[in-house]
Chain A
């Protein structure tokens, strides 16, 4: 049972927009801790795609955007492409656990 809750899967056709939610609590996201997002393709290490809630590393396409409100955060992928098919994980810090925490992961499928 992950501390941060994500939907197991989302899907969309090429060119469409998909949104992945990440629900936390008052001890992690709601405490003002930043949310970060990672993309993982099968057989590879995770890759940071959004840091600090809504900031993209320079090498990440601007199709990826993040937001945060209250105890939740979201990752949006617009203009979905075949290469976006991967698992995505949200991550924050939990003050009560004194621990980094991850969501359970969401599999993005491009139809």
Chain B
């Protein structure tokens, strides 16, 4: 089924950018898409967007349009999510999740990366 391993916690100032990595192992990376989901402290899950590891097609949530860029590196089986112009309300745990192709469910999740935005 595979595994996703994310980069470590980040602390950023307002206005800065953050780039979170998500390395896949145990499955064929290019056969599945990757979704990014975030969770603010004490809140629910918020979908940020999707990227196909096969052809790079992307679909970003309207909330993040213009501020987020999702990419993949098929030479290292790694997905990346960059969020710019950070605000305090971007403080959250950011998850990557593998898309199960037949059902479009998120069947494998990374461990999460805490991004703290504070002056």
Contacts and interface: CB of A to CB of B under 8 A. Distances in A.
Interface residue SS majority, chain A: strand
Contact of A101 (B47, B95, B102, B109): B47
A34 B105 contact: yes
A48 B47 contact: no
Contact of B103 (A36, A47, A87): A36
Q: Is the interface of B mostly helix, strand, loop or mixed?
A: strand
Interface residues of A, number: 26
A93 B106 CA distance: 12
Interface in A54-109: 55, 57, 87, 89, 91, 93, 97-105
Contacts of A34: 103-105
B62 to A, nearest CB: 7
B99 to A, nearest CB: 9
A48 B105 contact: yes
Interface of B: 35, 37, 44-47, 50, 59, 61-62, 95, 97, 100, 102-107, 109-112
Interface of A: 2, 34, 36, 38, 40, 45-48, 51-52, 55, 57, 87, 89, 91, 93, 97-105
